[in-house]
Structure 1
């Protein structure tokens, strides 16, 4: 209590004294929190953290409580720090953590949390897809959908970028359905489908979160149109599809040569459109929709059933709980080492190996293993919310 009372005094003084003195008071406040939380920085990390801490604290309209101060410190901390990477790599050898993650350079922990927009809910009211014991016999030790469905490898292995938006709940179902549509067409349908269409129109919260189950149900009731990665309106072509992704890739508070700076707050997703945003795309929206078959939407509730489903019909979507150590993943089979949960995330499982899943993420190729990762079976609830649906023949 004495510690927090001291914090309050420091912060109060920072608001009522001249700016030079206020800056010193703020640094004292930051240093006090650093000592209390025993954080170890590089010089660059501490500079980044203090700058975010000061800038975002200055925007607060109300005097923050003692608890808010500690939370604000945690939220503005760099998403990836060398001390965390070193700790992870020192206590296990199943996977490699790395500071070299372009996706999170300059990002804070709150930036990372914004990407975790999936509501974690077990699909209790949805049909479970069951396979017989005979059907589950002799499953291979490993499987990779990009290799087994070669005619669709460019679609299955395509790495997308949800940008500074919590729309993963729309990405994973749309991507899995996209792969299945290609597979069912024997490789004749290779267009990309639009997670932006799903995020904007399926009556959820867009960049602020949503349900993968709601997304799959939208694919059945309303259907999804074509649409590739982000393209500025002036640069759109017919090949970008009806609804390219609305939000550009971005870099978090750093001078990136690859991307523009991210906004300081989460994007608000554009409103639902009744015609194709890409005016260079000739097919009307209503004729461009692709649907999931009625009553085909199902949950897979065992490891073997998930494997059989992927082998038979293609990739599936999965939702799980992300921890802060996951942000540092570079290679190997991820197994949780942290207790600091960030939120729910949705991804696409495309295969497996011995005791792990092979997964496609939506954080672009500059994260993880070229945008992909392996995660141990049973880790972080990865098998708790696995969903799939069958494309309608009329969609082909």
Structure 2
């Protein structure tokens, strides 16, 4: 058994070091780049090809460094993002403030005493198949629709429906802005609420990666069992998000970095973010180790379109801007379900140890460690101030998921 383990470790190290070895050889680098282009079906002119090679090498260095680490639970790959410029990568995002004044939402404040230890709505057949926003910054529509679909399916006399991101893309900012330049998830729910709670089905309003004339009034309303009457903003901490996911899917936002875009599999803990939310997705499950998220970059990205975020980490702002729709049942039965996802969680997180300690400030750097208040209260993980139990010495984890001295807990 010991010999077998040693051989497996050696094989893993050899595989992980292979890309580093390739990058040390200009000829091997060119061959690997050529194979990448063939696999991705890419072809460039001479001048552009030199630029793309530079992009590929930069991505390959990130992948090689990450995958050679033995203390990590995430694996990266040279996917379709590997040769993109920053501007091109940004077209696959779209979470921004193009819209103007926001209505004040209701805030989730109740604490669920019976929150289950883990929930996976994909296992229950209550998450639709993976979708692809393509190079249009419409993630905000996919996040909003994902936050609706599971909750709608959970209603009595309802079914899993594939709702139309295209209606939101065309209609939410009609005459004001191009939806491919970004938007906000909650304004999708506001649009529906202002239009009788409606939203079309994808089958009736097919997605195209372009903002066109709004046809919402001309398409059949697929909101049969319930209507959207508003939205709920989830409190800005991990536990509140977990409690909301326990009740159904939610739309969440975070900063999608280049590191994240090269994700392949495993439980990700991104330390490269700077603090700017730029991408919206859908949280559809959790365990004690991770939060399961459905992305909108197609099934060839990540774990068949999904990503798992490490618990006990800020996850580049994942808990700061989360919502779900406020639904009002109609009493009308909907028994026409659409296709559910076929995603199955890979069994590859054996190197992972749950991290209870966490940073409370999403922009923690080593510079913050010079200030004892920041180091212990807000940047405990970054500053190595974690102790057994998850909080710095002399503090406890309060009910709002924040480490404080006991007398300071709410």
Q: Does residue 210 of the first structure (1) align with residue 146 of the second (2)? A: no
- In the alignment, the residues of structure 1 paired with residue 182 and residue 297 of structure 2 have an alpha-carbon distance, to the nearest angstrom, of 16
Distance 1:75 1:300, change over 3 A: farther
Q: Does residue 302 of the first structure (1) align with residue 281 of the second (2)? A: no
Q: Does residue 83 of the first structure (1) align with residue 68 of the second (2)? A: no
Aligned to 1:193: 163
- In the alignment, the residues of structure 2 paired with residue 183 and residue 79 of structure 1 have an alpha-carbon distance, to the nearest angstrom, of 46
- In the alignment, the residues of structure 1 paired with residue 178 and residue 328 of structure 2 have an alpha-carbon distance, to the nearest angstrom, of 27
- In the alignment, the residues of structure 2 paired with residue 51 and residue 110 of structure 1 have an alpha-carbon distance, to the nearest angstrom, of 18
- In the alignment, the residues of structure 2 paired with residue 275 and residue 177 of structure 1 have an alpha-carbon distance, to the nearest angstrom, of 20
- CA drift of 1:329 comes to 1.0
Q: Does residue 97 of the first structure (1) align with residue 75 of the second (2)? A: yes
How many residues matched? 293
- In the alignment, the residues of structure 2 paired with residue 53 and residue 224 of structure 1 have an alpha-carbon distance, to the nearest angstrom, of 51
Aligned counterpart for 1:226 among listed residues 189, 200, 218: 200
Structure with the largest fraction of helix: 1
Under a length normalisation based on structure 1, what TM-score does the superposition of the two structures give? 0.63
- In the alignment, the residues of structure 2 paired with residue 209 and residue 386 of structure 1 have an alpha-carbon distance, to the nearest angstrom, of 17
Aligned to 1:176: 147
Q: Does residue 383 of the first structure (1) align with residue 319 of the second (2)? A: yes
Root mean square deviation of aligned Cα: 3.7
Distance 1:137 1:52, change over 3 A: farther
370-379 vs 213-222, greater mean Cα deviation = 213-222
Q: Which of structures 1 and 2 has the larger relative contact order (alpha carbons within 8 angstroms, sep 6+)?
A: 1
- CA drift of 1:142 comes to 2.1
Q: Does residue 372 of the first structure (1) align with residue 349 of the second (2)? A: no
Work out whether residues 129 and 300 of structure 1, in 8 Å CA contact, stay in contact via their aligned partners in 2.
yes
1:1-396 equivalences in 2 (<5 Å) = 42-43=29-30, 51=44, 54-55=47-48, 77-78=55-56, 81-91=59-69, 93-101=71-79, 103-104=80-81, 107-119=84-96, 125-131=104-110, 135-147=111-123, 150=124, 153=125, 155-186=126-157, 188-203=158-173, 204-222=177-195, 223-228=197-202, 240=203, 242-247=204-209, 268-273=210-215, 276=218, 285=219, 287-288=221-222, 292-312=227-247, 314-339=248-273, 344-376=278-310, 377-394=313-330
Q: Which runs of 5+ in 2 are unaligned?
A: 1-23, 335-410
- CA drift of 1:56 comes to 11
Under a length normalisation based on structure 2, what TM-score does the superposition of the two structures give? 0.61
Distance 1:74 1:375, change over 3 A: farther
- In the alignment, the residues of structure 1 paired with residue 84 and residue 239 of structure 2 have an alpha-carbon distance, to the nearest angstrom, of 38
Distance 1:345 1:289, change over 3 A: same
- CA drift of 1:382 comes to 0.2
- CA drift of 1:189 comes to 2.5
- In the alignment, the residues of structure 1 paired with residue 281 and residue 57 of structure 2 have an alpha-carbon distance, to the nearest angstrom, of 20
Q: Which runs of 5+ in 1 are unaligned?
A: 1-37, 58-72, 229-239, 248-267, 277-284
Work out whether residues 360 and 371 of structure 1, in 8 Å CA contact, stay in contact via their aligned partners in 2.
yes
